[in-house]
Amino acid sequence: MDHDFAITLDVGSSAANHTGSWRTFRPEYVRRLPPCNAACPAGEDIQGWLSFAEAGDYEAAWRALTQNNPLPAVMGRVCYHPCETACNRGAIDAAVGVNAVEHFLGDMALAKGWKFTPPGHKTCTKVLVVGAGPAGLSAAYHLALLGHAVTIKEAGPAPGGMMRFGIPKYRLPRDVLDAEVARICDLGVRIEYNQKVSDLQATMAEGGFDAAFLAVGAHIAKRAYIPAGEATKILDAVQVLASMEGEEKPLLGRRVVVYGGGNTALDVARTAKRLGAEEAIIVYRRTREKMPAHDFELEEALEEGVMLKWLSTIKHVAAGSITVEKMTLDETGFPQPTGEFETLEADSVVLALGQDVDLSLLDGVPGLEIENGVVKVGPDMMTGASGVFAGGDMAPSERTVTVAVGHGKKAARAIDAFLRGGIYTPGPKHELASFERLNSWYYGEAPQTVRPTLEIARRSSTFEEVVRGLDESTALYEARRCLSCGNCFECDNCYGVCPDNAVIKLGPGQGFKFNYDFCKGCGLCASECPCGAIAMAPEEI
């Protein structure tokens, strides 16, 4: 069309005017570390697998999850989910139920029979793993995926370690554990049972192993000296819980006192109730706030009728009764005796005071150091002995299944690097995506869904699983509560709010990029990014 000079202009011609020259700050897409991922001892990319789950692609979610953790069905039941404690959503309504979704994905994988993809090629190296607990299984899994031939030597008759011999069935059904272990074995991992390694060097030489990962756990119950009379029944928690796996159930009597304040104490007390005890009383020398056991487990125990006696120490055990002394906390929070005593009826006393590691297999291994009853390891989990790595409860750290799984993974990567003649260096960590980085306006209100729990009546008489899984709709709901802290989730906000159309949408899964020809640097994209995935950086002039 013929146009009037100057008064009429061709459409879109302002694209010739590059307003990017106005800019003093430039937006940049960044990745920040989500608090859940930062908190996960197993190093799971929780946000990553939730993003598949929220799209309803559960298999992709499970595959992403199992890149870091081969035991999601187990972990979905027994993990104390520090991810949820860290979750930014807690500041809006309630943390995302990560553990529940993991539980759901783990169960779905078992139901659907999803298998791990075997490695494309195999190396000709052999690795010995000692102990088929969570650390050992995790290491074996990761090593197998890296193509190494792995043999696990397990002292016990069945796999799982403390997952089997420490955690009651009502928290972790054994068929779930067995199925997840079997899936690891399907990758070619060999587990030899009843093979206690007593001389590591000999075992390695004999089997022609190029490296070893030690994860024997902590099975020796700590004892405390308690004056006791005749015919008293004092047991330890490890013994009680382990014997639950055998034919002969422990005889605890009608009134059971458990001494200790950790999760194991709760497990024992709840087990005693299920075995028919009328009373299960936990005696703990400090207060509820100081108790190391997790709150939700305590709640469940209280629901089941477990009783607690705070600020008390056992001074004497007699047949049918115990004497406790009341304590008081001093200003440092340490319990101090008061001189007041009380007598409780008790048919048995179970000590749940912690466990020690059986380090006998390490005798004579050169360079290896022991400190505070555990093996010293470097940041790559290698002990002082070259090619010998250690993790799980026998290494210094918090003793949980999740930590152990994390150790296994870390050790496997380090062993792989060691076998290739290198040193494993993890990638740099991104800056934490704290709540202040988010624009929480964009997140809709959605309270957490709670996993159904077994009726109280049935809990006191059976070992049925107490906490059930989510169904698909609730798992999807829960996955969609994820805020995707610190990482673009393709919400199109930057693309939409730019007054200068200076954001280019690259298509599904591809994210966005800035068109710096036109970006004036107003910063709207950064301030309206829900998840804090855009940073403004001063323009270099």
Partner 1 sequence: MLKQIEGSHAMAEAIALCRPEVICAYPITPQTHIVEGVGELVKSGALQNCEFINVESEFAALSVAIGASAAGARVYTATASQGLLFMAEAVYNAAGLGLPIVMTLGNRAIGAPINIWNDHSDAMSMRDAGWIQLFAENNQEAVDLHIIAFRLAEELSMPAMVCVDGFILTHAFERVDIPDQAQVDSFLPPYDPVQVLDPENPASIGAMVGPEAFTEVRFLAHYKQRQALRLIPEFCEDFAKTFGRAAGGLLRPYRTDDAETIVVAMGSVVGTIKDVIDEMRDAGEKIGAVALVSYRPFPVEALRDILKHAKHVVVVEKCISVGVGGPLADNTDGALRNLRDRPKLHSAIAGLGGRPITRESLKKLFHDAVHAPWIGPFFLDLNERVVGREIHRGRKVRRAGSTAENILKQLALASHLPPG
Partner 2 sequence: MTDSTHAQNPAPSLKYYQKGTFTVGNRLVADAERAVQSSPERSNALTSGHRACQGCGEALGARYAIDAAMRATGNDMIAVNATGCLEVFTTPYPETSWQLPWLHSLFGNAAAVATGVAAAMRVKGKKTRVIAQGGDGGTTDIGFQCLSGMFERNDDVLYICYDNEGYMNTGVQRSSATPPAARTATTPALGPEPGNVFGTGKFVPKIAVAHNIPYVATATVADLHDLERKVIKAMGIHGARYIQINVPCPLGWGAPSSDTIKLARLAVECGLYPIFEAEHGRITAARKIRRRIPVRDYLILQKRYAHLFRNGEDDPRVARLQAICDAHIADYGLLGDDEA
Binding residues for partner 1 (CB under 8 A):
1-11
110, 370, 497, 535: which one binds partner 2 (CB under 8 A): 497
121, 507, 538, 541: which one binds partner 2 (CB under 8 A): 507
231, 441, 457, 540: which one binds partner 2 (CB under 8 A): 441
115, 492, 510, 513: which one binds partner 2 (CB under 8 A): 492
**C-alpha 367, offset from chain centre:** 31
Residue 231 contact among partner 1, partner 2, none, beta carbon within 5 to 8 Å by kind: none
Distance CA 488, CA 495 (A): 12
Establish if 16 lies at the interface with partner 2 (CB under 8 A): yes
Establish if 17 lies at the interface with partner 2 (CB under 8 A): yes
Q: How far is the CB of 4 from partner 1 (least distance, A)?
A: 5
Task: Residue 151: name the closest of 185, 127, 135 by CA.
Answer: 127
Distance CA 309, CA 25 (A): 61
Residue 4 contact among partner 1, partner 2, none, beta carbon within 5 to 8 Å by kind: partner 1
Kindly write down the DSSP assignment for every residue of 421-456, as one continuous string.
TS---PPPPPPB--GGGS-GGGSPP-PPP---B--H
Residues 116-145 touching partner 2, rule: CB under 8 A, are none
Task: Residue 89: name the closest of 402, 429, 403, 433 by CA.
Answer: 433
Of 96 and 414, nearer to partner 2 (C-beta) is 96
Identify any residues that bridge with 130 across adjacent strands, giving them in sequence order.
153, 214
Q: How far is the CB of 22 from partner 2 (least distance, A)?
A: 7
Of 307 and 536, nearer to partner 2 (C-beta) is 536
Per DSSP, the three-state class of 507 is coil
Establish if 316 lies at the interface with partner 2 (CB under 8 A): no
Residue 522 contact among partner 2, partner 1, none, beta carbon within 5 to 8 Å by kind: partner 2
Of 6 and 457, nearer to partner 1 (C-beta) is 6
193, 296, 341, 442: which one binds partner 2 (CB under 8 A): 442
Distance CA 67, CA 141 (A): 10
Residue 2 contact among partner 2, partner 1, none, beta carbon within 5 to 8 Å by kind: partner 1
Task: Find all residues with CB under 8 Å of 114, minimum gap 6, and list them.
Answer: 59, 62, 63
**71, 449 in Cβ contact below 8 A?**
no
Region class of 399: left (phi > 0), else alpha (psi between -120 and 50), else beta: beta
Of 401 and 529, nearer to partner 2 (C-beta) is 529
Residue 3 contact among partner 1, partner 2, none, beta carbon within 5 to 8 Å by kind: partner 1
259, 310, 418, 489: which one binds partner 2 (CB under 8 A): 489
Q: How far is the CB of 14 from partner 1 (least distance, A)?
A: 10
Task: Find all residues with CB under 8 Å of 331, minimum gap 6, and list them.
Answer: none
- Would you give the binding string for partner 2 spanning residues 454-483, x where CB under 8 A is met? ----------------------xx--xxxx
Q: Does an H or E element contain 350, and which?
A: strand 348-351
Residues 336-355 touching partner 2, rule: CB under 8 A, are none
Establish if 521 lies at the interface with partner 2 (CB under 8 A): yes
Of 10 and 247, nearer to partner 2 (C-beta) is 10
- Other beta carbons within 10 angstroms of residue 492's beta carbon come to 11
Residue 442 contact among partner 2, partner 1, none, beta carbon within 5 to 8 Å by kind: partner 2
Tokens of 242: 């382990």
Strand ranges for 458-523 from DSSP E:
503-505, 512-514
- Residue 57 exposed, middle or buried by CB count within 10 Å (0-12, 13-18, 19+): middle
Residues 57-96 touching partner 2, rule: CB under 8 A, are none
Residue corresponding to tokens 């819980």: 241
Task: Find all residues with CB under 8 Å of 294, minimum gap 6, and list them.
Answer: 80, 263
499, 510, 513, 539: which one binds partner 2 (CB under 8 A): 499
Q: How far is the CB of 534 from partner 2 (least distance, A)?
A: 11
Establish if 515 lies at the interface with partner 2 (CB under 8 A): yes
**249, 235 in Cβ contact below 8 A?**
no
Task: Residue 69: name the closest of 400, 450, 378 by CA.
Answer: 400
Q: How far is the CB of 9 from partner 2 (least distance, A)?
A: 4
Task: Find all residues with CB under 8 Å of 263, minimum gap 6, and list them.
Answer: 292, 293, 294, 297
Task: Find all residues with CB under 8 Å of 352, minimum gap 6, and list them.
Answer: 236, 237, 258, 259, 260, 262, 264, 265, 267, 268
Through-space distance between the first and last CA atoms of the chain, rounded to whole angstroms: 43
Q: Which stretch binds partner 2 (CB under 8 A): 16-24, 238-246, 309-317, 460-468?
A: 16-24
Of 13 and 332, nearer to partner 2 (C-beta) is 13
Establish if 524 lies at the interface with partner 2 (CB under 8 A): yes
Of 11 and 124, nearer to partner 1 (C-beta) is 11
Residue 1 contact among partner 2, partner 1, none, beta carbon within 5 to 8 Å by kind: partner 1
Residues that bind partner 2 (CB under 8 A): 6-7, 9-19, 22, 54-55, 441-446, 476-477, 480-484, 489-493, 495-497, 499-502, 505, 507-508, 515, 517-518, 520-524, 526-528, 530, 536
